[in-house]
Chains A and B, each alone.
Chain A
């Protein structure tokens, strides 16, 4: 589905991603872990098309297209979705307006008809229920006045509504209480299918009990320094990141 080759990115002259190689196939869940400031959000943002980062080297092929040449909205229309680490508040724009606009923009790009009021309502009801969100959610302004946890849930709600091919979830588990964590995980698991893929950034092995990844990668200082199966997450939890860094030094 997506193939990232030797990706380098910098901001204001500082190189943050220093050669990332990663391939994700349909049906897979990849977890990215790594210390604060290692570049996890940067990777997710670069893939979603954030213009604040400059890609200096490398290539990303998504569904046969050169992703890096596309505007953020074009990427979204082709099926890339980023759940933000820090979701943005948009006062005065209701979730309904926001999502209807987004869905119809995506549909328009695929020469599809606009979503009917009925279908929209059915889907919002279904996913709001799944995520245990209040009924008035849809008439409230996007994230405005939402608690930290509600904002994270709202990202997953949007993901379900937009039904992307590749979901990049940036620390969606941070700031969630135990119950919310379970609910959000259920949302992600509901979304998972053979046709789509998930890249999730997390600091906590706990999340991976609920959303079981196929692969775990450790990002440190802008590079993937270790990849493995889900056991890697347990090892990390136990030994911390220094263990790999040291291991890497020894092999170097």
Chain B
């Protein structure tokens, strides 16, 4: 049987769950979201899970994640987590607010949200639909692109997720730490959050979004996020994907950037057996800055895929992308960086760099820049390098009396440093560095 047929069979199973799912929706089936849901179901039926014959999924075979039937959390008992678990996974040494979701569902008992600036909202999407229906209706789905079955699946089955609203000119004083905790001892669970972030003109916020796992079974996080940034707003979105190594992670993040907005996206992809992160930005006005940073780590047989898409639609904007990979054992990385410069987008500056070091002969990376430039007055550059640790630098360090393992760690630290130092929350840098070495199972430098 071909992959397409096998994949369709499992898709049919996911689709067939809908009737039972719908009957358990209670209140939500009466909201406008449910109409969107039904449209998405139709698309979900039409679309296929991607196979390696799809250009966009050429290097990522999702067969391992379609082998199991992941159960919607609604059918399972509640996953209980304790405060210590959250604390141990938190970035610390600075003030922050915290919102926690367990298997995609808001968990008020673990969330701590202090006083917010006037009119600002941090809540679950589910309650935002009730409390701010007009706001949600105006923005939700506005820029999502439903072009594969994972996206449609999220839009069909998600019932909750993060909601952030920043009114004009308001600034979150403290970073917000978000937790998406997934997993269950009872069964293999499908965690399917959908998030919506609306930052109006002149607002600012820093978000730290942690994906972590619990429980003994493998699970599948299929997450989708929409970020709407208003004129001259300033948003940092720092994602740490630290899922359990027996689990799966698919993330689609859609960003809309308005005039003068500065948006920083950070992807720290440290966990999961197989992960795929798609981030895209539409730069739909002038004087916008879009920065994408990433570090992906692989050990054992981890597979880590990033697809980025920066869409320059208007003139005088800049985008800058720095992705770095450290791959050990038999791990495999994929990086595909698409940059589109539309005919209108004169005076665009677009830079992209993807560097990967392979710590083992069996590790592997497929990297591909994809530049489509339709304007003539632009500055674009891209570069990809793949290599081992620099042997001359390695010798240099050892020649000072430093043992081989520590010398390697120094070079790894040096390699990752510029991305880690780009994080604007200072205390996070050491903690990210610590996690990085912990994941790679190497001496920390």
- Residues of A near any B CB (own CB < 8 A): 48-52, 71-73, 75-77, 81-82, 84, 87-88, 90-93, 97-99, 101-103, 105-106, 109, 141, 158, 162
Contact status A102-B401, CB under 8 Å = yes
Contact status B414-A93, CB under 8 Å = yes
Name which of A72, A84, A103 has the most chain B CB atoms within 10 A of its CB. A72
Contact status A90-B398, CB under 8 Å = no
List the A side residues contacting B392 at CB < 8 Å.
88
Tell me the bound Cα distance from A52 to B417 in angstroms.
28
Contact status A105-B414, CB under 8 Å = no
- Residues of B near any A CB (own CB < 8 A): 390-393, 395-404, 406-407, 410-411, 413-418, 421, 445
Q: Which of A73, A84, A97, A103 contacts B403 (CB 8 A)?
A: A73
Contact status A87-B445, CB under 8 Å = no
List the A side residues contacting B401 at CB < 8 Å.
73, 76-77, 102-103, 105-106, 109, 162
List the A side residues contacting B414 at CB < 8 Å.
90-93, 141
Least distance between B210 CB and chain A CB atoms (Å) = 24
Contact status A90-B404, CB under 8 Å = no
Least distance between A151 CB and chain B CB atoms (Å) = 11
Tell me the bound Cα distance from A105 to B404 in angstroms.
11
Contact status B402-A102, CB under 8 Å = yes
Contact status B398-A49, CB under 8 Å = yes
Given known A73-B398, A93-B410, A97-B445, contact A88–B393 (CB-CB < 8 A): yes
Tell me the bound Cα distance from A102 to B445 in angstroms.
13
Given known A90-B411, A93-B413, contact A82–B402 (CB-CB < 8 A): no
Q: List 13 A-B contacts (CB under 8 A).
A: A49-B398, A50-B395, A52-B391, A52-B395, A72-B399, A73-B401, A77-B401, A87-B396, A88-B392, A92-B414, A101-B445, A158-B400, A162-B401
List the B side residues contacting A109 at CB < 8 Å.
401
List the A side residues contacting B410 at CB < 8 Å.
90, 93, 98, 101
Q: Which of B399, B421, B445 contacts A82 (CB 8 A)?
A: B399
Given known A52-B391, A97-B445, contact A91–B418 (CB-CB < 8 A): yes
Contact status B395-A72, CB under 8 Å = yes
Those 6 A-B pairs whose CB atoms lie nearest each other, nearest first: A92-B417, A76-B401, A102-B400, A88-B396, A72-B398, A92-B414
Least distance between A48 CB and chain B CB atoms (Å) = 5
Contact status B397-A90, CB under 8 Å = yes
Least distance between A138 CB and chain B CB atoms (Å) = 15
List the A side residues contacting B406 at CB < 8 Å.
101, 105
Contact status B398-A92, CB under 8 Å = no
Contact status B396-A105, CB under 8 Å = no
List the A side residues contacting B404 at CB < 8 Å.
71, 73
Tell me the bound Cα distance from A249 to B355 in angstroms.
53
Given contacts A92-B418, A98-B410, 15 further A-B contacts (CB under 8 A): A49-B399, A50-B395, A51-B391, A71-B398, A72-B399, A73-B398, A73-B402, A76-B398, A76-B399, A81-B400, A87-B396, A88-B396, A90-B410, A93-B417, A105-B403
Least distance between B419 CB and chain A CB atoms (Å) = 10
Q: Which of A73, A91, A102 contacts B417 (CB 8 A)?
A: A91
Contact status A93-B396, CB under 8 Å = no
Contact status B393-A90, CB under 8 Å = yes
Tell me the bound Cα distance from A106 to B392 in angstroms.
21
List the B side residues contacting A51 at CB < 8 Å.
391, 395
Q: In chain A, what residue has the closest Cβ to B417?
A: A92
Q: In chain B, what residue has the closest Cβ to A75?
A: B399
Least distance between A80 CB and chain B CB atoms (Å) = 8
Tell me the bound Cα distance from A157 to B120 in angstroms.
55
Tell me the bound Cα distance from A251 to B22 in angstroms.
101
Tell me the bound Cα distance from A78 to B402 in angstroms.
12
Q: Which of B403, B418, B421, B445 contacts A93 (CB 8 A)?
A: B445
Tell me the bound Cα distance from A106 to B407 in angstroms.
14
Given known A88-B392, A90-B410, A98-B410, contact A105–B417 (CB-CB < 8 A): no
Tell me the bound Cα distance from A91 to B355 in angstroms.
15
Contact status A105-B418, CB under 8 Å = no
Least distance between A104 CB and chain B CB atoms (Å) = 9
List the B side residues contacting A72 at CB < 8 Å.
395, 398-399
Tell me the bound Cα distance from A91 to B421 in angstroms.
11
Q: In chain B, what residue has the closest Cβ to A90?
A: B414
List the A side residues contacting B445 at CB < 8 Å.
93, 97, 101
Least distance between B119 CB and chain A CB atoms (Å) = 41
List the A side residues contacting B398 at CB < 8 Å.
49, 71-73, 76
Least distance between B424 CB and chain A CB atoms (Å) = 17
List the B side residues contacting A106 at CB < 8 Å.
401
List the B side residues contacting A141 at CB < 8 Å.
414
Q: In chain B, what residue has the closest Cβ to A143?
A: B396
Tell me the bound Cα distance from A88 to B401 in angstroms.
16
Least distance between A192 CB and chain B CB atoms (Å) = 20
List the B side residues contacting A87 at CB < 8 Å.
396
List the B side residues contacting A90 at CB < 8 Å.
393, 396-397, 410-411, 414
Q: In chain B, what residue has the closest Cβ to A49?
A: B399
